[in-house]
Structure 1
Amino acid sequence: MKYPIKYIENNLVFNHAGECFAYYELLPFNYSFLTLEQKEQIHTSFRQLIAQNREGKIHALQISTERSIRTLQDKSKQLLSGRLKEVAVERIDEQTEALVDMIGEHQMDVRFFIGFKLMTNEEEMSLKTLQKTAKETLTAFLREVNHKMMGDFVILPQAEIARYAKLEDFLYAKIARRFTIRPLEKNDFGYLIEHFYGKSGTTFEDYEYPLPVQKQNGQAIVKRYDLIKPTRSLIEENQRYLKITNNEEQEQYVAYFTIDSIVGELEFPSNEIFYYQQQQFDFPVDTSMNIEILPNKKALSTVRNKKKELKDLDDHAWQSNNETGANVVDALDDVAELETTLDQSKEALYKLSYVVRVAAPTYDLLKRRCNEVKDYYDDWSIKLVRPFGDMFGLHQEFLPASQRYENDYIQYVTSDFLAGLGLGASQMLGETEGIYIGYNLETGDNVYLQPGLASQGVKGSVTNALATAFLGSLGGGKSFANNLLVYYAVLYGAQALIVDPKAERGDWPETLPEIVREINLVNLTSEEKNQGLLDPYVLMNRKKEAESLAIDLLTFLTGISSRDGEKFPVLRKAIRTVTQKDVRGLWLVIDELRKEDTEISRAMADHIESFTDYDFARLLFSNGTVERSINLDKSLNIIQVADLVLPDAQTSFADYTTAELLSVAMLLVISTFALEFIQTDRQTFKIVDLDEAWSFLQVAQGKALSNRLVRAGRAMNAGVYFVTQNADDLIDEKLKNNIGLKFAFRSRDRQEIQKTLAFFGLDPEDEDHHRRLRELENGQCLFQDLYGRVGTVQIHPVFEDLFHAFDTRPPTRKK
C-alpha cells in the first residue's frame, strides 16, 4: 500500500489522489457539569459545522498523546519568585519524583484533530480556466512520470499550494466562528505519524519534525525520504494485530477495530463516546473517522435503492409463505424514516469508516485491553470487529489525508450521529502548570493552579476576581485544602496573612521547618503584656483609619446604630476628641464620655466599660501608652487569638453572648488590619486568609469589610480566601460575584447542596449533581476554575509531613 502523504505545507496535506486536506486541532472544551441546554448548543454547533459541507471528505482523529510530568513541573519552577525560591525548587523536585513514582514519566493527554478536504469546484468555467486546468493536468502527469523514474523528490507548483491556502483561509474563518481551533504545522504531523508507527517518549509540545523544503522557479521541492522518515520502523503484520519495532527496546503491539453494526439507538445527550472514553480507560486508545459526504440527491438515491432491496426480501418471504425477519422489518422502518428526513431537510448523508486503535507493550496486555474496549462499545450497543488480515490497511486510515481502506464496514449516518459522539468534549480543570493541588477524580489528570492569575485578564477566563471560597461541612477537608494552597502560594513567592481564630496553626514553626525563617506567628493571649495590641489606635498606622475602625468596633459592641440620633452623635464626638489627641486609645473614649457627664454619655461609658471585664477583651483597650508590635514583614504571617468563643453558624446575631460578641469584634479588627497589609507592594501577590469567615460575615460590619477587602484586593494584587461552612454564609450577591476559584467539599443537607450548586452556576435541582456532592469523600471537592469549568478534585498533599502539618483532626490515642 502506497504511503498516502505526498506533500505537507503548514496545515495543508496533499495526497497521491490529487486531494488536499486542511487539518486543525480542535482545542478541547469542558463538558463536565453542563446543563442540557448547553450540551444541546454544542451539539447544534457541531451538526451545523458538519452539515454545511455538502460534499467532500472529513477526517477526524482522537489521539492519546503524552505529556511529560517532569516538563510540567519544570515549567512550574519558572513561576517561582520571592525569598523562599530555593526551598520551593527543592520541594517541587521532591514532588516531581513522587509523582513520577506514582503515575509514571508521562501523563496521558487526549487531543482532537479534524481535517477537511478542500474543494476547488467553485471557479467559474471559462476558456482561461479550462486552459489552466489542462496545463495543471499535464504538469501533474509529468511530475508523476519523474517521480516514478527518479523517485527522490516531490515537486509541487507553488501556485497550486497558494490556491489551496486561500481556500483554507475561508474554511478557518468558518470553523473559528463556532469552535476554538488551531491550524496544525509540520511538527504536529510528524508527531502524529510517529505516534501511529509506535514511537513514544517525546511529548507533543517538545517534538520537532525537520522537513526542509526548497522553493525555486515557482515550485516547492521536498525530498521524499524526509516525508517518510517518521514511518521508519519494522512492522510485522499478523492476522489480528501488528507488531511494531523501532529499536531493540521499543516494541509495540497494535490492534485495530472497526464497527460491525450499531444494534441500538444512540440518543443524545448520552452517547458522547469520546467524552466518556476518557474516564473509562487508563491506557491509550485512538480513534479515526473517515467520513465521505454524499450530497442529498445521491444520498436519497442510495437510501431508495436500499429500500428496494429490503422490499424485495419482504416480497420474497411473502411469496414463499414465510414470515419476514424482524431485522428486515426494522431496517425497512429505519430506511423509510431516513428517506423522509433526507427529503425534508435536504441534508447530506455520511459514509463513515470508524476505526479504533489499541496499543500495548506486550501481546498479553494487548488482548486484555482489546477486551476492555469491546466491552465498552458493547455498552453503547455498538459491535466492534477485528477483521482478519486487514490490520495494516486500517492502520493506514489513521494517517493524514489517507483514503478509506475498505467498504465492508461502512456505516451510513447523519450529521446528528456525528455531532453527538462528543468530539472535543473533555474534562479540563485548572492551568497547564503551576501549583499541583491534586488530580481530577474522573480522568486522573493532575490539576494545577496559579492563584494570582485571575487579575492578569487571561484569555478565556470568565472572572478577574482573586478572591477564593472554601465551602463544606465540618471534617470535609476545606481547612486542609486551604492550608495547602496558601503554603504553596507562599513558596511560589506570595505573601500571606492568616487570621486563625481557632489557633490551629500554632505548631507550624515546628512542623514546617523548611520555611520557619519566613513564618511570623502572632499569638495574642489574654496575658497582661498583650494589653491593647488590638486597639484600633495601636494597630492602624493612619489616624483616619484608626478612627473609622474605632467607630465600627464600638457601635458593633454597643449595638448603637448611626440612625440613633441621641446616642450616635455623642459616641462619635468622644471618638473624634480622642483621635485628635497626641495620646490615643479606646480607654480614653470611655474617659471622654464620662467627661461629657450626661445621662446618655454615662450610660454609654458604663456599657463599653462592661466589656473590659473579660480577660481577652483587654486586647482591644489601651490607655495610649501601648506601642504597635504586630509587623507583617514575613512571607507567612499568622495572627491567632487564644480563648475566642465563636458562635455557631446557625446562631443569629441577636442571640450572640457577650463572649461571642467580643470574639467576632476581634476578628473584625484583625480583618480591618488586613486592609493595610493588602495595600503594600502591588508586584507581590498577597493572600488574606479568613478562617471561620461565617462568624463575622453574618454582621453588617463584617459584610461591608469583606466587600472592601475583595475590591481593594483586586486593585492591589491580593486575594481574599473565605473559609466557611456553606454558600449561604456569603450573603452578599456582590461578594459572591467577586469570587473566582471555588472549592465545595462534602455536604449532606439538600438545601445547602442546592445553594452550593447555584453558587457554582449549576442547576440546583439536578439529582446527579446532588448525588456527586453527597458522595464526596474527605479531601474531595467540587472545584470551579477561572474559566468557569467545574469538576471533582482529590486534594493531594503528596508529602506526609504536609499532611500532618495541615491535618486539623484531633489526635487519636495510640496503643
Structure 2
Amino acid sequence: MAKLESPLVLKRDNLIVTKAGRYHAAACYELEPIHFDFKKMDDYQLFLSQFQQAISKMYYSGMFLMAPTPYDPVDDLMKGAKTPEVLQESFLHGVQRMAAHIRQIPYKYRMYMIIFVEQESGSAFKEIAKTIAETFRDLSKKTQHALGGEPFTLAKSEWEGFKEKEEQVFTFFNRFISLRRLRQIEVDWLVSRCAMRGIDPARLSNEDYIEDSGELLSASPVEVMKAFTDVALDKKAVPGMLRFEKGFPEGVKSGYFSFMCVSRLPKGMGTYPGDTTIFKVIQELVPCPVEVCVQFQPISPEDVRWKLNTSRYLSRGKAGKEMQRKQEVSKKTREVLGESRALQEYLDETEHPMFKTTITICTWGETPEQVVSNREEISKALRNYELQVPVLQQKQLFYNTLPGFPKKTGYQYFLRLTTEWLAATMPIASTKLGDPYGFLIGYTGLQELYPVLLNPRRGSEDSRRASTGSCLIQGAPGGGKSVLGNYIVHQELMRGAKALIFDPKNERWHWPYELPYLHPVTNVVTLKESIDDQGKLDPLARVRNQITDTTAIASAKEIINYMANRRNDSIYEKVIDHVVNEVVEESNRIQPNMMRVVEKMHDYLEGRARWDFHPSLKDKIDYAAADIHSTLKMRSRSGLSRLLFNDGTNQPVDLSKQLTILQVQGLLSGTNQDESTDTRIRKVVFMAVLDLAREFADEEIGYRTVFIDEAYFITDDKEGASMLRILLRTGRSKRNNVILCLHNARDLNLDEDSSEEDGGGEVRSNVTNRFLYRLDDRAEAIKGCDLLGIPAVKSNVELLRDRTVMGSGSFMMRDFNGNVGLVRFNLQQVDPALYRCFNTSDPEILRIREEKFGHFRTMRTQEEIAKLQGQQVPGQIGGPSMQSQPQIKPPAQAQQ
C-alpha cells in the first residue's frame, strides 16, 4: 500500500488553498435544495432557466458534489418542543423510537458546490498567456513563496486576494441560487472523508489552526494532513477498486471504494426532467450511499468552433472516401456529422460557454462484493447513460475528485456540455419534503429513504409568513385518516400543545388507559340525552362580555335560526336578534344562556314584556315569536338538542385539561343526507361543537390544536359550513392548528360565493398542510390534484386512484412550502403502542382492548377508581378522567 500525498496547503473559513505550480483557492458552499416532484412543466422550465442563467455567465471552474452525510435526527425531533414535566419521560421515549427508526438510513444527501475563485477565459491559449503575464507582472509573489519555504505557508497578500475573489464569487451566485458558505469544520469533514469513504471522520475541531505572522499564514501540518495521515490506498487489491486502511486509536479500519465514469450521455438530448437530473435519479433509485461529482471547466465558443470545424472536416473526409469506394457511410460517421451540425446551430445562436465536464460516481462498502452490488444498482438507475469502471485509473480519479484539487492527472472521460445540459443536471433537485424539524410523519422517495418531518407550529414560529399549520385529511374510508389525525394531535400534545378532539364516533375513550401517561392530562367528556348534561354546549353560557364575545353571540343566533328552520326570513332573524341581544345585555347581572332566550320570548307572548318594533310588523313579529318559542321550548327538554339549553344548573364543557376528548352519543346515528327533524337536531349540536372549538382556538396564550373528526357531516349545510369557515379563520388568525377530517371534495364546499369551482377557497387559504389518501372516483381524483396544487394529468389522477400505490398508510402530502410528494407511514413499525391505541378497524386489537379496558367505561368502576385516588367522582366538572361516561351494565346485571 502507498501512503497518500496531500495536495493541500491550508484550509481556512470556506476556502481550500492548494498548490500546483502556483497557488489556487477553492471556495466551498452548500446549495439549498428545491423539491422537484409533481411540479407543473412551467415550473420545471423556470428552474432550468434560472439555473442556466447563472451557468451561462459563469467563467469559473469547479464541481457540483452530492455527498451522503451522517444524520442523527434527535435534535430535529426535539427542537421547538415545550413538553410539560408530566409528559417529559414519555416524550423522550417517543423521540428515541422515531430516531431509531430513522437511523436505519443513517445518512441524508447534501449538495455542495466547490468553485475556484479565479475566473477562466475558457480559452487554453488565453490561460497560457495570462499565466506568463502574471509571472512577469508580479515577481513579488515568487519572492514571497520562496521566503515561506514550507509546504504549508501562504503569503498574507495572496490570502487577502483570494478572500476578495471569494466575495465576488459568492455575490455572483447568490443572485441566482440559494447557497451558504461552509464553516471550517465542515470543509475539514468534506476533505477528510475522501480518504476513507464509508467511515465518518472523528474528532474534528472548530479551532483555527492557522498562525498569522503578519506576512505569512502558516498551517499546522498535522491538521492539514489529517485526512491522509496513516491512510494507505491499495490499487491492486481488487481490480477497479481501491482498498484503504486507516489507523484509529481503537485499531485499524479498512474498506473498499470504486469510481465509475460517465463516458456517454443519454442518446439525443435526454429528457428533462428525467434522465438529465442525474443527482435526483441517484437519490431516488439507488438504495445505498453514493457520491456524485460533476466537474466542469468553461470552454470559450471560439475554441469549440475550432475543434468542431476540425472534427467536421475529418468526418466529411472519411464520408467522402467511403462514398468513393461505393460504400454506405457508417452509422458512427453520420452521428458525428449530425451532432456537429446541431452543435454548430447552438453556437451560432449563443455566446455562452460550453463546459469540459467529467461525471464521476463513487460507491463503497466493507467488502468487494458489496461494492460490486452497489455498482449494479447504479447501472440500473442510470441505464440510459454509458458507464465505465476505469480499472487502472482509480487512484487518479481519487485525487481528481478531491474538493479543491486544481490539476487533473491522467486520462479523463471528458464530456462537452452546453450550458443548458449542465444546468439540466439540476444539482439542486431533491425529494425534500416536510419541515426542517418536528416529528416523523413518514418517508418519501421511490425507495422510501427520506424521512418527512411535520411541525404544525411552523406558521406561528415563522415571522416572515402569516400562516398556520392547520391540516386537511381527505380520502376514502379505511385509508387511515383518523389514525393520522390522532397521531398528529398526540405528537403536538407531547410537544406542549393544548388539544381538543371532537370524537363523534366514541373511538378514543380508551386513550387514558391504553396510554397511561395521558391519564393525568386528559379529560374525556361524553355528552348524552340527559339532564346531567343539560346545556353544556350552550354558546351563550360561555359569554362573559358582550363586546369581546361577539362571535359566540352570533353563533347562538345562527343556531336558533337553524332550529327555527326559516332560512333567509328577515322577520324571524329580527326576532332572534332582538331577544338574544336582550339576554346578553343583562350579562352584568345574570349569566346569559339559551333558556333565558326561551323565557324572554314567553314573557313577550304573555304580555309581560314589550319589543320596540313598528306597529305594522306586530302580527308578523307575534307569529314568528310564537313559532320560535314553541320550537325552542320543545327542543330544550328532550333529545340531543337539550345540550344547547343551559338553565344555570350545569357548567359548560370543561376545557382546562391539556387534552379534552369530546364525545356526543348518537350524533352520527343515521345519515346526514335527509332533511328530517332528527338530522337537523344532530347537525345543530354539531354546530354548537364547532363554536366550542372556535372558542378553544381563539386563544393566543400557548399553542392549541383542534381535531374535528367526521367534519363531512356538517359541510353540506350553509350554517354549518359558515361555522367551519369561522373556525378555520380563527385558527389562522391566532396561528393555532385546526385539523379537519373529510371524505371527498364535496365536503370542501364551504363557500357558495367562492370563485373556486368546488367552493374550496376557504380551505386553500386557511389550511397549509394537506394529506390526501386514496380517492376511488376519477372526478374526485381530479379535484384532489387541484387541492394539492399539482397538474391533473393522467399520471397524477391515476396515482391517486391506485390501490397498490395508495394503500393503507400511504398518502399524498402538500407541505408548508407547497411541495407535494408521496409519503408512506408505517406507524406499527415506528411505535407499536400508538398503532394499537389508534387502530379502530382490526378486530383482534378491538377484542383485546375491550377485554383489558372495557370495564373502565362503566360509571361504577370510574367512581371506585376516583375514590381510591382521592379525586373527584367522574361526572363532576373537572374530573381527572371522564365526564358523564355512558353507563354500561356488567354482564351479570345484563343477564338479570
TM-score (normalised: structure 2)? 0.82
CA contact (8 A) 1:57 1:293 kept: yes
Distance 1:807 1:590 in 2: 44
Q: Following TM superposition, by how much is the alpha carbon of 1:498 offset from its aligned partner in structure 2, in angstroms? A: 1.0
Q: Which amino acid aligns with 1:298?
A: D
Q: Which residue of 2 aligns with 1:750?
A: 778
Shift of 1:745: 1.2
Q: What residue is the counterpart of 1:356 in the other structure?
A: 361
Q: Deviations over 1:467-518 (max 9, x none)?
A: 2211112111111101001001101100001112222111212222111111
Answer whether contact 2:60 2:115 (CA < 8 A) is retained. no
Paired residue for 2:159?
161
Distance 1:207 1:697 in 2: 58
Distance 2:457 2:99 in 1: 26
**Structure 1 CA distance for aligned equivalents of residues 836 and 50 of structure 2:** 49
1:593 equivalenced with 2:601 (yes/no): yes
Corresponding position of 2:558: 552
**Contact 2:194/2:227, CA 8 A, preserved across alignment:** no
Do structure 1's residue 292 and structure 2's residue 315 form an aligned pair? no
Q: Which residue identity lines up with residue 392 of structure 2 in the other structure?
A: G
1:378-777 to 2 correspondence within 5 Å? 379-380=383-384, 382-402=385-405, 403-442=407-446, 443-457=448-462, 464-542=467-545, 545=550, 547-561=553-567, 563-580=568-585, 582=590, 585-597=593-605, 598-612=622-636, 614-622=638-646, 624-645=647-668, 651=673, 655-680=674-699, 682-731=700-749, 732=751, 733-765=761-793, 767-768=795-796, 770-772=798-800, 774=802, 775-777=805-807
RMSD: 2.9
Residues 387-408 of structure 1 show CA distances to partners (whole Å, capped at 9, x for unaligned) of 1221010011221222333345
In structure 2, the gaps of 5 or more residues are 123-130, 606-621, 752-760, 849-896
Question: In the TM superposition, what whole-angstrom CA distance separates every residue of 1:580-606 from its partner, at most 9, and x where no partner exists?
Answer: 563754344344434433444323323
SS in 2 for 1:697: coil
1:424 and 1:684 map into 2 onto residues whose CA distance is 37
Superimposed CA distance per residue, residues 282-307 of structure 1 (whole angstroms, 9 cap, x where no aligned partner): 21111222212111111100111111
Question: What amino acid sits opposite 2:792 in the alignment?
Answer: P
Structure 2 residue identity aligned to 1:807: N
Q: CA deviation at 1:91?
A: 2.4
For 1:518 and 1:203, the matched residues in 2 are separated by: 45
CA gap of 1:647–1:243, structure 2 versus 1, over 3 A, is same
Indicate yes or no: 2:112 matched with 1:112: yes
* Matched AA of 1:297: E
Residue-by-residue CA offset, 1:422-469 (whole Å, 9 max, x unaligned)? 21100112223321222224342122222212122266x6x6223221
Tell me the residue number matched to 1:783.
Answer: 813
Distance change >3 Å, CA 398–CA 85, structure 1 → 2: farther
Match of 2:525, SS?
strand
Further displaced range: 440-449 or 749-758: 440-449
The question of whether the paired residues in 1 share the 8 Å contact of 2:527 and 2:665 is answered with: yes
Q: CA deviation at 1:618?
A: 2.3
SS of corresponding position for 1:103: coil
Which residue identity lines up with residue 697 of structure 1 in the other structure? T
Q: 1:244, 1:532 → 2: CA distance?
A: 77
Q: Please give the secondary structure, in 2, of the residue aligned with 1:279.
A: helix
| Change in 2 beyond 3 A, CA 1:207/1:554 | farther
Per mean C-alpha deviation after superposition, the further-off stretch among 567-576 and 486-495 is 567-576
1:676-698 deviation digits (Å, cap 9, x = unpaired): 32344x34110121112222233
CA contact (8 A) 1:187 1:208 kept: yes
Q: 1:496·1:686 contact (CA, 8 Å) conserved in 2?
A: yes
Whole-angstrom distance in 2 between the partners of 1:408 and 1:490? 57
> CA-to-partner distance for each residue in 1:226-285, whole Å, 9 max, x for gaps?
212122212111241101122445322111111233361213222212112111112111
Q: For residues 718 and 70 of structure 1, what CA distance do their matches in structure 2 show?
A: 25
What is the CA-CA distance between 1:343 and the residue it aligns to? 2.6
Worse-superposed segment, 529-538 or 392-401: 529-538
Q: Which residue of 2 aligns with 1:95?
A: 97
Say which is worse superposed, 138-147 or 662-671, in terms of deviation.
138-147
Distance of 1:62 and 1:583 partners within structure 2 = 67
Rate the CA distance shift 1:745–1:10 in 2: closer, same or farther, 3 A: same
AA aligned opposite 2:686: L
Aligned to 1:126: none
What is the CA deviation profile of residues 283-336 of structure 1, one whole-angstrom value per residue up to 9, with x for unaligned ones? 111122221211111110011111122223223323444332111111111112
Contact (CA 8 Å) 1:87, 1:515: kept in 2 or not? no
1:801 has 2:833 as partner: yes
Partner AA of 1:115 in structure 2: I
Secondary structure, aligned partner of 1:365: helix
In structure 2, which of residues 370, 393, 396 is the aligned counterpart of residue 365 of structure 1? 370
The alignment status of 1:79 with 2:76, answered yes or no, reads no
Aligned residue number for residue 125 of structure 1: none
After superposition, the C-alpha distances for 1:731-755 in whole angstroms (9 at most, x for unaligned) are 3423421211111111121222222
CA separation of 1:344 and 1:548: change in aligned 2, threshold 3 A? closer
Give the partner amino acid of 1:37: D
Q: What amino acid is the match of 1:512?
A: L
Contact 1:22 1:115 in 2 (8 A): yes
Report if aligned partners of 1:4, 1:401 keep a CA contact under 8 Å in 2: no
Question: SS at the partner of 1:359?
Answer: strand
Shift of 1:528: 2.8
- Structure 1 match to 2:873: none
Q: What is the rounded CA distance, in whole Å, between the counterparts of 1:517 and 1:263 in structure 2?
A: 63
Rate the CA distance shift 1:454–1:249 in 2: closer, same or farther, 3 A.
farther
Counterparts of 2:463 and 2:290, CA distance in 1: 32
- d(CA) in 2 for partners of 1:401, 1:141: 24
- SS of the residue 1:399 aligns to: coil
Identity of aligned residues (%): 19
Map of 1:34 onto structure 2: 39
The 8 Å contact of residues 28 and 112 in structure 2, kept in 1 or not, is answered as no
Q: How many corresponding residue pairs?
A: 788
TM-score, normalised on structure 1?
0.90
1:37/1:321 Cα in 2 relative to 1: closer, same or farther (>3 Å)? Answer: same
> How far apart are the structure 2 equivalents of 1:211 and 1:537?
67
Counterparts of 1:763 and 1:68 in 2: how far apart (Å)?
36
The whole-number CA distance in structure 2 between the counterparts of 1:422 and 1:181 is: 14
Structure 1 residues 568 and 89: CA distance shift in structure 2, 3 A: closer
Contact 2:33–2:430 (Cα < 8 Å) also in 1: yes
Query: What is the rounded CA distance, in whole Å, between the counterparts of 2:36 and 2:121 in structure 1?
Result: 37
Do the aligned partners of residues 315 and 648 (structure 1) sit closer, same or farther apart at CA in structure 2, a change above 3 Å counting? farther
The question of whether the paired residues in 1 share the 8 Å contact of 2:539 and 2:644 is answered with yes
Q: Which runs of 5+ in 1 are unaligned?
A: 123-128
**Residue 61 of structure 2: aligned partner:** 57
